[in-house]
């Protein structure tokens, strides 16, 4: 299936100069939605994760069905102030300023293998901060999975050593 035909390009969103890769048409079409989850599951199953960490919020949309399909647990990585129990935090740099992500301290038992999922990797800062959170819980990063990779930004180079799975590249 041509998954790219289900990605909508929106110029200048959320800021001038950004070409936003919108995955909502892919999710709205049941065939492309099921196909993308099935393909994702097939490609990451060999990593044998114990848990999936999905990054707020589009990482939830792919991470949760993937966890269901692989038969593993799921933990949300969230923006500050959203998780109710004790959290670990990781702050990372954006083009202008910083951003912070949080993960429950007891999200995984120590020593778990955690697969990190998001819809898209651009500069890699978000996924690298999530890897930092996973390590803070005493677990290891089994791999990273993204629906879309923006190759020009070389986000992979920011990630710690672990397999990277992507469905589409631009
Ligand atoms: P980065 O930390 O630069 O790798 O940015 C990745 C995060 O920002 C992901 O959660 C994406 O959903 C979002 N993102 C960054 N750039 C884009 C883009 N061009 N289109 C859609 N989402 C993007």
Peptide bond into 67 cis (omega under 30): no
Bridge partners of 138, per DSSP, are none
Q: Is 158 in the pocket of ligand 1 (CB under 6 A)?
A: no
Domain ranges of the chain: 47-169
Check: CB of residue 84 under 8 Å from CB of residue 114. no
Q: Closest ligand 1 atom to the C-alpha of 18?
A: 19
Whole-number pLDDT of residue 10:
98
Q: Closest ligand 1 atom to the C-alpha of 22?
A: 21
Q: Is 151 in the pocket of ligand 1 (CB under 6 A)?
A: no
Q: Which CATH architecture has domain 47-169?
A: 3-Layer(aba) Sandwich (3.40)
Q: Per residue of the chain (170 residues), what is the pLDDT tens digit?
A: 999 999 999 999 999 999 999 999 999 999 999 999 999 999 999 999 999 999 999 999 999 999 999 999 999 999 999 999 999 999 999 877 899 999 999 999 999 999 999 999 999 999 999 999 999 999 999 999 999 999 999 999 999 999 999 999 99
Whole-number pLDDT of residue 81:
98
How many whole angstroms separate alpha carbon 136 and alpha carbon 147? 25
Whole-number pLDDT of residue 96:
77
Q: Is 149 in the pocket of ligand 1 (CB under 6 A)?
A: no
Query: pTM of this prediction?
Result: 0.98
- Taking CA 158 as the corner, what is the angle to CA 116 and CA 35, rounded to the nearest 5 degrees? 40
Look-up of token digits 């999530």: 130
What is the three-state SS of the chain?
CCHHHHCEEEECCCCCCCEEEECHHHHHCHHHHHHHHHHHHHHHHHHCCCEEEEECCHHHHHHHHHHHHHCCEEEEEECCCCCCCCEEEEEEECCCCEEEEEEECCCCCCCCEEEEEEEEECCCHHHHHHHHHHHHCCCEEEEEEEEEECHHHCHHHHCCCCCEEEEEEC
Whole-number pLDDT of residue 94:
86
How many whole angstroms separate alpha carbon 116 and alpha carbon 12? 28
Annotated catalytic residues are 58, 95
Report which protein residue has its CA nearest ligand 1's atom 9. Answer: 120
């Amino acid at each position: 299936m041509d998954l790219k035909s289900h990605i909508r390009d929106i110029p200048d969103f959320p800021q001038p100069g950004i070409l936003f890769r919108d995955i909502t048409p892919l999710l709205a079409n049941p065939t492309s939605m099921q196909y993308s989850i099935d393909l994702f599951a097939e490609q990451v199953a060999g990593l044998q994760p114990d848990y999936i960490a999905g990054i707020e919020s589009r990482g939830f949309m792919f991470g949760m069905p993937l966890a269901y399909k692989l038969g593993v647990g799921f933990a949300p990585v969230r923006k500050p102030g959203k998780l109710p129990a004790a959290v670990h935090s990781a702050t990372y740099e954006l083009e202008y300023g910083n951003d912070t992500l949080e993960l429950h301290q007891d999200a995984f038992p120590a020593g778990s293998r955690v697969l990190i999922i998001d819809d898209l990797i651009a500069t890699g800062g978000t996924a690298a901060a999530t890897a930092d959170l996973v390590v803070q819980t005493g677990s290891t990063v089994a791999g990273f999975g993204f629906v879309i990779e923006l190759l020009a930004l070389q986000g992979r180079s920011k990630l710690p050593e672990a397999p990277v799975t992507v469905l589409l590249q631009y």
